[in-house]
Amino acid sequence: MTDITKLTIHETLDELKKKNFSVTELTKAYLKNIDQAERYNAYITVCAERALEQAKTADQNYAKGTPRPLEGIPLGIKDLFCTKDIRTTAASHMLGNFVPPYESTVTEKLLNDGAVFLGKLNLDEFAMGGSNETSAFGPVVNPWSKDVDLVPGGSSGGSAAAVAAHLCAGATGTDTGGSIREPAAFCGCSGIKPTYGRCSRYGIIAFASSLDQAGPIAQDVTDCALLLESMSGYDAKDSTSYPTDVPNFVRFLHEDIKGLVVGMPKEYRPEGLNPEVAAYWDKTAEMLRARGAIVKEISLPHTQYALATYYVLAPAEASSNLARYDGIRYGYRASGDCHLDELYIKTRTQGFGAEVKRRIMIGTYVLSAGYYDAYYLKAQKMRRLIHDDFMKAFEQCDVILTPTSPITAFPIGDKEMLKNPINMYLNDVFTVSVNLAGLPAMSLPIGLAANGLPLGMQLIGKPFDEGTILNVAAKIEEDAGFERL
C-alpha cells in the first residue's frame, strides 16, 4: 500500500480489521503529515502524545477482537469544541490559554466510539467569518492553492483544509450559517450540517445558539454518514437537543432514488449567477434525472431576505453569548490596576478581534430599546416566513438541490473581499436559509471550475431526514467522480 493517510475512514476501518497496519502506524503517519504541512496552519494545537496513547488502546482493542465503531480513526477537532485538559481557543486571544475542565458531548461520543484525536483545528475567531482570516492564530491556507495562497473558506477552514491535505481522516465542524458547507466546498470535501437538535451543543463554544449545529467534514459521503452517526443523539445537557433515535445513516446510502422528487428553487438562480456554477447545478440535476428522480422547479419566495435576517439574528445572539468574556471568571484579563468597568473595557478591547467586535456592536444595536422592534423582532418574523417557505416546498419535493457557494476559493487578503465586510457576507447567500429554518443540509464536491478549484453542490432535506440527503449525495458522488487531492 502506498499512502495509508489517503484512505477514507471506511477503507481505513476495513484495513485495520484485516490487520494490514496498526493504529499506531496510522497515527504516526498522520502526525508526520501534520509536521510536514505546517504552512497550511490548519492546527492550532497538536496532541501527539495523547494521540499515540489512544492509538495504543485502539490497537489493544483490535487485538482482543473488540473494536468500537470508529476504533483508531485519527480525527481533527475544530477548536470550538471543549476538550477536557486540552487547550480550546475558539481561535481568539480571549481564550488563548483556556483549558476546559470538561469534554463536549459530541467529542465525548467520538472518543467513546474509539476515535483518536490528533489535535485542535484552526477556525475563524468564535466561528465568525467565511474565510478563516479572522483567526487570532493566522489564516489557514487552502491545500488546492497553486501560485497564490487561497482561503479554505470558513469558519471551519482548518477542518476542511486538514481533511483535504490528509492531516486527519475526518474532522468535526460547526455550522451557524454555512461554516461546514462552505469550507467543504472550497476544499473539495464533503460536509453535513444536521437538523438543529440532532447533535448536542453542550461544550461547543456558543456563537448564535438558535443556529449553531455540529457536524462532520470528511473525504466522502460514507465517511460523513459514519461520523454523523457517532456525533448524533439526544443529550439532557442541551435543552434544545431533540429526543429522537439516531438511524444507521450508512444504510440509507444504498437505497434507490427512482421516483424521488428533487426541487430546484428558482430564487437560487439570480441574474448574474456564475455560469459555471449554474452549469454544474444543471448537470447535477441531469445526473439525478438519469437515475429516475423527478426534478422540478420550486419556489422559496423569501430567499432574498435570508442574508439580512441572518446578519441581524446571528450578531444579536452573539452579542449576548459573548457577554460572558469579561476577564473575571476565565479567559484573557487585561493587566494593570483599574476599576471594574475599565477592566471589562480593556479586556474586551484587547481580547476580541475586529470582526467579533463588529458583530457585538451590530448585535447590541439591534437588541437595544428603540431598535428591537425594527430589527430583531422583524428578523424573527422573517425567519418564520423563511421556515414556512421550506415547509411548503417540501409538500412538493423530497429534497432540494442548490449550489453551495456562488464562488470558488479566493486569495488570502483579497482586497475586494476585505474592502467591505458585506462582500464577505454575500458568499453565504445559499447557506444561511437552512440554519434559519433549522434544516439538515450537505455540501459535496461536484467538479472543478475553469480555474482548477473545487465547486460544491448543496442538498437540503426535511427535518431529521439526513438519510435522504446522504442517499442522494452518494449517487451524485458516484456519477461526478470527483478526484480528491
What residues act catalytically? 78, 155, 179
What string marks each residue from 154 to 173 as x (binds ligand GLN by CB under 6 A) or -?
-x------------------
Show the cell assigned to 352.
476580541
Candidate residues 133, 229, 389, 428; the one interacting with ligand GLN per rule CB under 6 A: 428
Least CB distance to ligand GLN at residue 207 (A): 6
**Under 8 Å between Cβ of 44 and 38:** no
Q: Write out the H or E segment, with its range, that includes residue 201.
A: none
In angstroms, the CA 477 to CA 482 distance is: 7
Q: Is 128 in the site for ligand GLN (CB under 6 A)?
A: yes
**Which of the ranges 81-89, 124-132, 144-152, 214-222 carries the binding residues for ligand GLN, by CB under 6 A?**
124-132
Q: CB-wise, 26 or 94, nearer to ligand GLN?
A: 94
Q: How many residues bind ligand GLN (CB under 6 A)?
A: 13
Q: CB-wise, 129 or 331, nearer to ligand GLN?
A: 129
**Which of the ranges 95-103, 126-134, 197-205, 244-252 carries the binding residues for ligand GLN, by CB under 6 A?**
126-134
Q: What is the DSSP string of 312-332?
A: HHHHHHHHHHGGG-SSSSSS-
- Write the CB contacts of 19 (distance below 8 Å, at least 6 apart in sequence): 62
In this structure, what DSSP letter does residue 190 have? E
Q: CB-wise, 67 or 178, nearer to ligand GLN?
A: 178
Least CB distance to ligand GLN at residue 284 (A): 23
CB-nearest residue to ligand GLN? 179
In this structure, what DSSP letter does residue 274 have? -
**Under 8 Å between Cβ of 19 and 71:** no
Least CB distance to ligand GLN at residue 38 (A): 25
Q: CB-wise, 204 or 457, nearer to ligand GLN?
A: 204
Least CB distance to ligand GLN at residue 310 (A): 7
Q: For residue 460, which of 180, 75, 194, 134 has the smallest C-alpha distance?
A: 194
What string marks each residue from 81 to 120 as x (binds ligand GLN by CB under 6 A) or -?
----------------------------------------
Please, is 261 exposed, middle or buried when counting C-beta atoms within 10 Å of its C-beta (0-12, 13-18, 19+)?
Answer: middle
Q: In the block, which residue shows the cell 481533511?
A: 163
**Under 8 Å between Cβ of 191 and 217:** yes
**Which of the ranges 121-129, 248-256, 298-306, 410-418 carries the binding residues for ligand GLN, by CB under 6 A?**
121-129
User: 121: which strand partners?
Assistant: 43, 78
**Which of the ranges 125-133, 218-226, 249-257, 467-475 carries the binding residues for ligand GLN, by CB under 6 A?**
125-133
The neighbour count for residue 318, using CB atoms within 10 Å, is 25
Site for ligand GLN in 290-319 (CB under 6 A): 314
Report the interhelical angle of 221-231 vs 105-112 (nearest 10°): 110
**Which of the ranges 123-131, 364-372, 388-396, 446-454 carries the binding residues for ligand GLN, by CB under 6 A?**
123-131
**Under 8 Å between Cβ of 397 and 449:** no
Site for ligand GLN in 174-233 (CB under 6 A): 175-179, 207
Site for ligand GLN in 317-376 (CB under 6 A): none
Candidate residues 130, 327, 353, 440; the one interacting with ligand GLN per rule CB under 6 A: 130
Q: For residue 283, which of 167, 457, 139, 138 has the smallest C-alpha distance?
A: 457
- Calculate the alpha carbon distances from 25 to 3, 38, 74, 126, 223 in Å: 11, 21, 11, 34, 21
Please give the residue ranges that form the binding site for ligand GLN (CB under 6 A).
127-130, 155, 175-179, 207, 314, 428
